[in-house]
Amino acid sequence: MDPEHADDAAAGRAPEDQELSIGAFSRRSRLSIKALRVYDRLGLVTPVRVDQHNGYRWYLESQLETARLVGLLRRLDMPLAQIAEIVAAPEPAAAEQLVAYWAEVERRVTSQRELVDYLAGKLTGRTGGDCVVRRRDVPEQCVLTEQRHVQADGLSCWIGAALGRLGKAATDVGGLAGNPFVVYYGAVDEDSDGPVEVCVPIDPSRAGDSAVATRREPAHQQAYTRLRRAQVEFPQILAAYDQVTHWIGEHGLTAVGAPREVYFGDFMAAAPDDEVCEVAFPIH
């Protein structure tokens, strides 16, 4: 073997894969020396060797592609831990992780835009919005039910778990007979814990077959509005409650029962602008 390339072969790299000083690597990767040192500590882009005498870092030319990828991902404000996962993943999986990350960013930005609209309305005394309030008759329903005192930080987790349990129980007695809904008998925030009730409608003739608690939801009228996925986030969902309450008063009606959120479709798979939920008040 050519002695000139013996070290390259021992290191498992091609002879043309030249070593670059940290300064040259910084210029060609378009990353600062400071950033490269940070990425070294995190194991994202590590030098091929460090001179034991002067501490100089040396990189391989073939590492430029990874370094540039890290730099571009950082421009997306991606956390370094998530960048490390993408860099380590095979290409198809890395692409899927990137797409999933950006979908979450878009969901968050859309939600934040809704929050800005809500806060701007509160600060300017505006009570209106883009929610259209309607009125409807709701027939009597038999529902599987689960109720709990829960504060805001545990609400979403509990609702999701309860819907899963009740949905499975409904399958055992013939399936759902309507859209699931969540009833709020009291405020839910950092200081208040409801209580909150999750309800899943079933065929009333099968109520006796269920091992889960059931009750009758009486027939009534509702004032309601539909919300997009991004509008369901807290606290901007409060705008919908405000608007329905305002509509009820404007029309000379009275809220006579606890407000509820009615869920339809695949909530978790919905895009930010997909309609997924209704905020409703029983009225007379």
CA R_g for the chain = 28
Q: How do residues 200-218 score in pLDDT, each as one tens digit?
A: 999 999 999 999 999 999 9
Handedness of CA 152, 153, 156, 158 (dihedral sign): negative
How far apart are the C-alpha atoms of 80 and 93, rounded to whole Å?
17
Percent of the chain with pLDDT over 70: 93
Q: Is the pLDDT of residue 6 over 50?
A: no
Angle in degrees, CA 83, 153, 110, rounded to 5: 55
> Tens digit of pLDDT for each residue in 158-208?
999 999 999 999 999 999 999 999 999 999 888 999 999 999 999 999 999
pLDDT of residue 63: 95
pLDDT of residue 126: 66
Cα gap 80→74, rounded to integer Å = 8
pLDDT by residue (tens digit) across 56-82? 999 999 999 999 999 999 999 999 999
Residue 153 corresponds to which amino acid? Answer: D
- CA 266 → CA 54, 94, 112, 202, distances in Å? 60, 26, 22, 19
Residue 267 makes CB contacts below 8 A (sequence gap 6+) with 229, 276, 277
What pLDDT sits at residue 14?
Answer: 55
User: In whole angstroms, what is the distance from residue 276 CA to residue 265 CA?
Assistant: 6
Place of tokens 């490269």: 36
| Domains contained in the chain, CATH given | 3-79 (1.10.1660.10), 133-283 (3.20.80.10)
E strands along the chain, which residues?
19-21, 49-50, 57-60, 133-138, 141-148, 181-184, 196-202, 214-217, 220-228, 260-263, 275-283
CA–CA separation, 106 and 284 (whole Å): 40
Q: For residues 60 and 71, what is the distance between their CA atoms, to the nearest angstrom?
A: 17
DSSP-assigned states of every residue in 57-88: EEEEGGGHHHHHHHHHHHTTT--HHHHHHHHH
Give the per-residue pLDDT at 254.
97
Angle at 112 between CA 109 and CA 113, to 5 degrees: 90
Span 255-265, average pLDDT: 94
